[in-house]
Amino acid sequence: MIVLDVTVMNVALPRIRTDLHFTPTGLSWVMDAYTLTFGGLLLLGGRAGDLFGRRRLFLAGIGLFTLASLAGGLAPTAGWLLASRVAQGIGGAMAGPNTLALLTTTFSEPARRIRVLALFSGMSSAGFAIGLIVGGLLTEWFGWRSVMFINVPFGVAIALLGMAVLPEAPRRAARLDLPGAVTATAGVATLVYGFISAAADGWGNTTTISALLAGGVLLSAFVALELRHEQPLLPLHLFTDRTRAAAYANMFLGPMAGMSMFFFVTEYLQEVRKMSALATGFAFLPTAILMFAMIRLVPRLLPRLGPKPLALTGTLSMAAGLALLTRLTDHSGYFPLLFVAMLFLGCGIGLAFSPLNVIIMSTVEPAEAGAAGGALQTVQQVGAALGLAILVTVFGTATRGATGSPAHILVGGITTAFGAAVVIAVLTVLVALTFPGRRQTR
């Protein structure tokens, strides 16, 4: 539910823009208000669960997420909707890392843990694609507000079941690293604001330059604080293991490249091809089906092959799918170009990221499971938010001053953004080459 909410709004964006009077570049804040808050506070949510109880943080987060979803569905203005998306992000940051930590500490036997972590990763990845299909169905049949309301019954059910079946976990007396939380969240948010400002006003704009510089300073301050703190929000020794550090890197780069597909393909299908929200949602069905197929395959293949072949195949497939999308034109049909690209991306995203959860979480101490899980989901969400902001900036730069029909200008910007996404995807391939082979992972 939490991951699905990253993309479930995509298909509804054109109608939200019309109803609540968003600007074209400002519309990306409907996505980034959630992903930035979620990603920026995941470290704090994971560490808070380690210290104050994972069950308690999980249930509180689900409760807040559910209430924020209800408020978002009632939003009369753009500001109200963005505020509810921020509140959803806070709730998701409380629940998300503690979900992963509860799984890691509950399933201690190695074979079962690998299976559970691979299943968790697969479900999380599939949530991106399923969100688009669900969003299309709900938007077409009941309007965009139903995309928010649908979380309410599921949230209530999760909270009731959680209170009934989740065990209490021991807590440790400690202090939270609040300065680290503030500098991390503010730094990433300021960077994203800078990129979105560049998309709207250009790289030479004073606001753009100031925001990018401030974001860099805040993130540098975050690292300095973490090095000094006795109980840091992000234990930097998690990155001292070369393989784990590479897995974190790909968990950052992969969504940075892959999330562009969901946002820009939705824009292409609805604005250029004039497809309905329902048809747009079902256009992503091949991606969703292949992701679910990978959920079944990865837990069986990972112990036999090790992470390297799976991650390498996945990242190559993702890069190939994005490369195909650079060939879109004003008149491209769904078949064959988009359909084949969807197949490559479904296979790629499904294979590329499931091994990363296992690499990261299978070697951490139980006491740091929340922090490690928070860091994992943080780099994933921050990568998605920064990637979307960067690619929206590339899109805005490519379309500013362009001539031709509106559809031609839009497609030119979209394909340029996909070209930048291919470059990022190639980096994920290079990182995947560093993962250990089968013999080293036994």
Instruction: Determine, yes or no, domain membership for 38.
Output: yes
Domain assignment present for residue 46? The answer is: yes
Query: Residue 176 and residue 51: Cα distance in Å, rounded?
Result: 8
Question: Quick one: tokens of 94?
Answer: 């409380």
The pLDDT value given to residue 440: 46
Q: Is residue 59 part of a domain?
A: yes
Q: What is the pLDDT of residue 442?
A: 41
Distance from C-alpha of 89 to C-alpha of 83, rounded to nearest angstrom:
10
Is 219 part of a structural domain of the chain? no
Q: Is the residue at 186 inside a domain?
A: no
The pLDDT, as a whole number, for residue 172 is 64
The CATH number of whichever domain residue 86 belongs to comes to: 1.20.1250.20
Q: What is the pLDDT of residue 220?
A: 95
pLDDT of residue 173: 61
**What DSSP state is assigned to residue 364?**
S
User: By residue range, what is the domain housing residue 290?
Assistant: 4-167+233-437
Give per-10-residue mean pLDDT for the chain (442 aa): 79 87 78 79 83 90 97 94 95 90 82 80 73 84 92 95 84 74 84 77 87 94 90 85 92 87 86 88 86 80 86 95 96 94 92 83 76 78 80 88 91 96 96 76 43
- 372, part of any domain: yes
∠ Cα 287 156 82 (to 5°)? 65
Does the pTM surpass 0.75? The reply is: yes
Other Cβ atoms closer than 10 A to 342: 25
Neighbours of 292 (CB within 10 A): 18
Q: Which pLDDT score is estimated for 171?
A: 66
Check residue 303 and give its pLDDT.
80
Does 224 reside within a domain?
no
Structure confidence at residue 169 (pLDDT): 67
* Residue 107 pLDDT: 83
Whether 394 maps to a domain, the answer reads: yes
**Both tokens assigned to 282:** 């079902």
Model pLDDT, residue 85: 95
Among residues 325, 324, 380, 317, the alpha carbon closest in space to that of 350 is found at 317
Angle between helices 29-52 and 178-201 (to 10 degrees): 170
**Tally of domains in the chain:** 1
